[in-house]
Amino acid sequence: MELYKFSDSSEQIIEGRVILINKPKGWSSFQIVNKIRHKIKKVKKIKKLKVGHAGTLDPLASGLLIICVGKATKQIYQFQNMTKVYTGIFKFGSTTPSYDLETKPNEKFSYLHLNKKNITENTKQFIGCIEQKPPVFSAIKIKGKRLYEYARAKEKVEINTRKVEIKKFEITSIKLPSVGFRVECGKGTYIRSLANDFGKSLNSGAYLYMLNRVSIGAYGIENALKIDEFEKLI
């Protein structure tokens, strides 16, 4: 699918284009989609335009967001099936209900027994096809309601595990309680769940402190535009 060019005509855009955006922390993927749709429609004078993203990034995460415009929205599934690469930081010593900074810590754990050897060795059990339980604070639907709706209403709901694939899981830095990582994974993998499960596997607790998506398939963050850059250039 062809990447969006600012010289594209309205007809070319409707036929289908892809935009690489470097999503900042604090924005939802939905907000980015709305912003781009509004801007393109206004500047290119298009009345109706389909715009969607090819894989959600949580508001607290940053990094590559692939935006599909016009007929390119029919190809979203192709991007969703591509390998994704994330970097970030796990924070040991406590857990949160959302597995990240969206909620406050609810339990504390010791991390004094952790060291480079047991941290790096423990990554091995998470590589390959594994069973993973999605966070209760997520957009997955169960019985017509999204999981985060159950969580915010403090309603209990049974969450089944799902098979996901983690191709690589590397530790990039250790400055306890912070541990830097790089993960290559397939569709449907929750890095927040990985943080929580990784903490448990080390007889401690951990949550996702920072997350950045650096690539989706062959598309890299280095070729992505910041949202304000896109607005200025269009």
Please state, in angstroms and rounded to a whole number, the distance separating the CA atoms of residues 117 and 103: 30
- Cα 1 vs. chain centroid, distance in angstroms? 22
Number of H helices, E strands in the chain: 7, 14
| Catalytic member of 8, 58, 100, 197 | 58
Strands (E) across 120-220 are located at 128-132, 141-142, 145-146, 162-175, 178-185, 206-216, 219-220
Whether 100 sits among the annotated catalytic residues: the reply is no
> Would you call the peptide bond into 177 cis, given omega within 30 degrees of 0 as the criterion?
yes
Token pair belonging to 121: 């060795």
CA atoms within a 13 Å half-sphere pointing along the CA-CB vector of 92: 22
Token pair belonging to 228: 């304000």
| Residues with catalytic function | 58
